Structure 1
Amino acid sequence: MVTQTTECKRVLAMRLNPGEDILQSLRAAVKENNIQNGFFLGGAGSVSRYRVHVVETTNLPPGDLFFEEDGPYDVLDVTGVVINGRVHAHIVFSDKEKASGGHLEEGCTVLTFAMIVLAETPGVDLTDWDSIRSL
């Protein structure tokens, strides 16, 4: 286990509009605000299309399984980290029958809106936190 204690420098609240790609928007906001390290505190909204990947195997490093689908979905949460300016985010979404999610990929398109909150934590070094994938 690895732990670090830090304080939050600032909180960035983002509102995404219809048609915007969630991952592209998060990357742009991180770059525009010069955020190197941080934690996504949550997110909500809706998408007209999702694209994610999940781990496919128990081998290390695990293989990835990508899946995508069109249709209206509620976004239940967006979570993850920013490591050295790189967004590593996950999304949870649902329709009337099921909830699902995975590693956020380009192709998650906002339907009505999306609101996502990011806490910048410059005092924590997340460089080696994912030693399997070397993020």
Structure 2
Amino acid sequence: MKKIIVLLMLLALAVPALSQYSRSEITKPTDHDSNPNSDAVPDVYTISGNFERIVVLRLKHRTDLLAGLSKGVKMEGIKNGVILAAAGSVRGYHVHVVSNRDFPSKNFMIKDPTRDADIVSMNGYVINGRLHPHITLADEMESFGGHLEPGTEIFTFAVITIGVFAEDVNLDRVDDKTHR
């Protein structure tokens, strides 16, 4: 009987933690979603340039990862750059991943504010001051990730390395869904 009571108590404690996880699909249609690919847009678009500097950001415990990254980019005056690496850990996460193959694009928003994980990697871009970060996280069971969203809270710390392009490098078209 005592074992049953203990099991019921553990189950009662586990249910609220499980209910924190959420997954929802959203569609963000734009005016350009119905446009076909244009022959005027090349299949491959290249940009060449050199990093003028490397910036390392350190974010502390309980900082929102996306907000802290954004603040660091503004503090350093980074206009165009490449997110090269990251390490650290989180107390919960919020990401989105693509969930279809045609326009308009749909995304699954995946959030679990109670799931701790290590930051395995981060990459992405700073495009004209806007962030486009992707993150990979891992716990003892699996690796997972996606496009970083607000609500990913740092546990121990996060260290992010950004390669900053010189002012003459323009990345505007890199993240442009209409340029197709």
Q: Does 1:111 align with 2:133?
A: no
Q: Distance in 1 between matches of 2:69 and 2:96?
A: 17
Q: Could you tell me how far apart the structure 1 residues matched to 2:47 and 2:174 are?
A: 11
Count of residues in correspondence between the two structures: 134
Q: 1:80 to 1:133 in 2, by over 3 A?
A: farther
Q: 2:146 aligns with which of 94, 98, 102?
A: 102
The residue correspondences of 1:39-58 to structure 2 (distance < 5 A) are: 39-58=82-101
Unaligned runs of 5+ in 1: none
Q: Secondary structure at the match of 1:60?
A: coil
Structure 1 length normalisation: TM-score?
A: 0.94
Aligned match of 2:67: 24
1:131 match: 176
Give the match's secondary structure for 2:79: coil
Q: Distance in 1 between matches of 2:57 and 2:77?
A: 15
Structure with more contact order per residue of length (Cα contacts < 8 Å, sep ≥ 6): 1
Q: Compute the TM-score of the two structures, normalised by the length of structure 2.
A: 0.71
Distance 1:2 1:63 in 2: 25
Sequence identity percentage: 35
Structure with a larger share of its residues in strand: 1
- What's the RMSD between the two structures over aligned residues? 1.3
4+ residue segments displaced more than 4 Å: none
Secondary structure of the structure 2 residue equivalent to 1:106: coil
> In structure 2, what is the equivalent of residue 85 of structure 1?
129
> Residue 59 of structure 1: CA displacement?
1.1
